[in-house]
Structure 1
C-alpha cells in the first residue's frame, strides 16, 4: 500500500495577520471563514474529500483514538489518531510541538501524533504505537517522520523542567545556543521510537522558531498552525 505524508507551511492561504496565511487551526482566534477556506484548500490540494480529513481536539495528553472516517467531528481530547481505513487522512496541528507521522505500509495502518513537551513526557508515542498494534501494525515495519518543531538550540526551559522530561524521555535534555537548559524533543522522541522497535525514523530538521515560513508560538505568541497529514491511498 502507498502511504502519503505531507507537511504544510504558512504560505498561500486566506488568513490575515497574525495568522497569515495558511492557518489550519480553528482554536487560535482566527476568523472561522478563513480557517474553513484554508481547510477546504488543503483537501483540494491533497485530492481528498473534505470529510476524509480527520481532525483532533489536541489537549497535550496521551490518548490515542482509532478512527475509520465515519466521524462527523474532531476526535475529542486526544493527541494521536490511528486508522486502518484507506483514504482517511489524519491531521496533526502544531506551532512548535513535534508532529509525528507513523505508518506500517504493509498493514495499511497510519498514525498522526501531537507530541509537545507534556505529551512527550506522559507517553503519547507509546500510546499511539499501542493503538497501531491494535489496528494490525507491527513496530519493526513502522516508518516514522518527526516533522518541523522548535529545536534544542531555541527551546529554553527551566533546569527542573528539562530534568523532569529527561527522566521520562531520555535524550531530550540539552543546552540552548545560549548555554542555558533546554529541550530537544525530537532527539528524545527519536530515541524513544528506536527503543520501542520502530524500524525507520526520519527527521525534518526545520526549526519552527527559526523558519518564518512556519508558525511558531514561542516566537510570535498569537499565531496559526501548520499541519502534518498522513494517509494510505485508497
Structure 2
C-alpha cells in the first residue's frame, strides 16, 4: 500500500527521511476516507493504526513514531523515546536527536513545518496554526533544536500543505491579533473581511528567527479535496467530521 500514498517531499530536506502525506492510500472510510492519521476524528482506531503503519513503512521503515497531543500552543518538547498514547505531552512541536525516531504532527488546514539541521543530526516537526505561530511555536521549536546543538544558519525548513490565502477568509477581530508589520499577509476581501496568508506568515516567522533556507510547498488543503483533509472545507460542506493528514520527519537509525 505504501506505493499508493501521496507523499510530498522537500528538496531542502532530501538528506533526511521525511514526507508530507495526503489522504490517498489509506483504509479509513466515510467522511474521513483515506490515510486519516488523527485520533480525534471519530475514526476506527484500528484503521488509524493501519494508516500509520503504512506511512511509517513509506517514510522510514522500522522507525518508532512519536506524536504529541496537539493543543494549538507555542510549546515544543524534546523526544528521546516513544511514549504511550496516554502519556503524550500536550505540545505542538517535537524535536529529537535520536536516530530511529520518526516525529509527526497532524493538520487539517494549519501549517505543518518540518525542520532539520542535518550536520548536527537534529530534526523537528511543528504544528503551526495561526494561533500557535502567533504565540511562538516556531521560535520554541528552534530554541529546543539549538539546545540540542543545532544552529539556525544550518537549519532547513519546509512548510507543508495548509489552507491557502484564497480560501482563508478572516474578520476584523482576527486581524487585531496581528501587528502593522504583519499587514502584508492580509489582502482585502468582502466588506469587513480579509484573506490571510498563513503559509507566508509562518515563513516570515521562520525568517525572523534566522532560518534562511525555507521551502513553502504552496499546497492548499481547502482547494484540493481529493488530496488533503480540510477542517474549513468540511465545516462549509456540513460534514459530520474531518480527517487529519500527517507530516513526518526522522533521523536514520545508526547501523552497528
TM-score range, shorter chain: over 0.9
CA deviation map 1:7-51 (0-9, x unaligned): 11111111011011110111111111111111122222234236x
Are 1:65 and 1:81, in contact at CA under 8 Å, matched by a contact in 2? Answer: yes
Are 1:153 and 1:177, in contact at CA under 8 Å, matched by a contact in 2? Answer: no
Cα deviation, residue 70, structure 1? 4.2
CA gap 1:176/1:168 in 2 versus in 1, 3 angstroms = closer
In the other structure, the counterpart of 1:137 is 150
In the other structure, the counterpart of 2:70 is 58
In the other structure, the counterpart of 2:251 is 232
In the other structure, the counterpart of 1:193 is 206
CA gap 1:171/1:134 in 2 versus in 1, 3 angstroms = farther
Matches within 5 A, 1:118-129: 118-129=131-142
Task: Measure, in 2, the Cα distance between the counterparts of 1:77 and 1:143.
Answer: 25
TM-score, structure 1 as length reference: 0.92
Cα deviation, residue 178, structure 1? 5.4
Q: Unpaired runs of 5+ in structure 1?
A: none
Q: Unpaired runs of 5+ in structure 2?
A: 1-13, 236-240
Task: Measure, in 2, the Cα distance between the counterparts of 1:124 and 1:19.
Answer: 28
Task: Measure, in 1, the Cα distance between the counterparts of 2:181 and 2:92.
Answer: 17
Aligned residue pairs, count: 232
Secondary structure in structure 1 of the residue aligned to 2:182: coil
Cα deviation, residue 75, structure 1? 2.9
In the other structure, the counterpart of 1:219 is 233
Task: Measure, in 2, the Cα distance between the counterparts of 1:10 and 1:89.
Answer: 19
Are 1:91 and 1:230, in contact at CA under 8 Å, matched by a contact in 2? Answer: yes
Are 2:22 and 2:35, in contact at CA under 8 Å, matched by a contact in 1? Answer: yes
CA gap 1:142/1:56 in 2 versus in 1, 3 angstroms = same
Task: Measure, in 1, the Cα distance between the counterparts of 2:248 and 2:67.
Answer: 10
